[in-house]
Structure formats: C-alpha cells, structure tokens
Amino acid sequence: MLMMKERQPAIRTVAGWARSVLLEAGAIRECEEHGWMKDRADPHAHERARLVAREEPAFGLSPAEAEATIDEMLASIGDACPECELD
C-alpha cells in the first residue's frame, strides 16, 4: 500500500518566509558573486512586500507581526554586499 507523508512547508522559519516575500516583491536581490542579500531601495517593492505580509502572514503570525517582521528584515539588509566593498 502506498503511504503518503504529509509535506512539510518549504520555508521553516519566519526569517526564511520574510526573505522569500521580499525576494518575490523585488525589494531585495542576491549578490551574484557572494550570495549576500542587498536592498534594492525600491519603496514600491517595500510596500508590496508589506501588503503581502498583511494579507498572507506566515503561519502563527498576526498581520501586524508579519509586517513588523518584514520591516525588521529590511532594516537588517544593506544596499551593498559586504564582500564586494572589500574588493
């Protein structure tokens, strides 16, 4: 008999969820050489990410907590790759 396992969510942490929302909204991008996330400084993309967070919060988060998580993640990401600055 074929047994099906319940699938685990692809994203297991709130930080991972926030990062994926920001990437999908175009608010951040990955450094091609080093893999660091960089803020694109696009206010429209930031607002799109906040809207998604309010409308589709991560499991266990209220819409306000989800939006705050997006803002915290944005505050922690710079607009330049730290390793590129050393070159």
List per-residue pLDDT tens for the chain, 87 residues long.
Answer: 556 555 555 567 999 999 999 999 999 999 999 899 999 999 999 999 999 999 999 989 999 999 999 999 999 999 888 888 776
Q: How would DSSP label each residue in 2-19?
A: ---PPPPPS--SHHHHHH
Looking at residue 1, its pLDDT comes to: 56
Give the bridge partners for 3, in sequence order. Answer: none
Taking the domains of the chain in order of start, what are their residue ranges?
20-77
Residue 74, amino acid: L
Q: The tokens 């685990």 sit on which residue?
A: 8
Q: Which residues of 54-69 are buried (b: 16+ CB within 10 A; e: fewer)?
A: eeebbeebeeeebbeb
The pTM score is 0.81
Please count the other Cβ atoms lying within 10 Å of the Cβ belonging to residue 13. Answer: 9
